[in-house]
Structure 1
């Protein structure tokens, strides 16, 4: 049976009321983890007031 390890990262959004994700830094970090063998399995946002995005959470896995 395959065994997995998991890794979670959080990206803070910017802007007066949040919701602005700095895409270059986001992609750079995703590509760095991908080159280390991590596979992105889920990505979602958390909300603050009025539905603005507060943070983006990405979950990765790779075989042990």
Structure 2
């Protein structure tokens, strides 16, 4: 039976009212987790109003190495 561990990343988009995602910085963060063996499972924003997002929540998983 496979066993998994999970990791959550909260990526800040800006100030209190939200902001824009720096695409290159966000991609660098995703790649960093990928290089460590994490697989992206889900990604969603925390909307505040009128299309603005305060945070982007990213969920990763990777198989536990049972030894």
TM-score higher than 0.5: yes
- Range class of TM-score, shorter chain: 0.7 to 0.9
Structure 2: segments with no counterpart, 5+ residues: none
Task: Tell me whether 5-14 or 15-24 shows the greater mean CA deviation.
Answer: 15-24
Task: Give the alignment's TM-score, normalised by structure 1.
Answer: 0.88
Higher helix share: 1
RMSD: 1.7
Q: Which residue of 1 aligns with 2:24?
A: 24
Structure 1: segments with no counterpart, 5+ residues: none
Structure 1 stretches (4+) deviating beyond 6 angstroms? none
Deviation at 1:41, TM superposition (A): 0.3
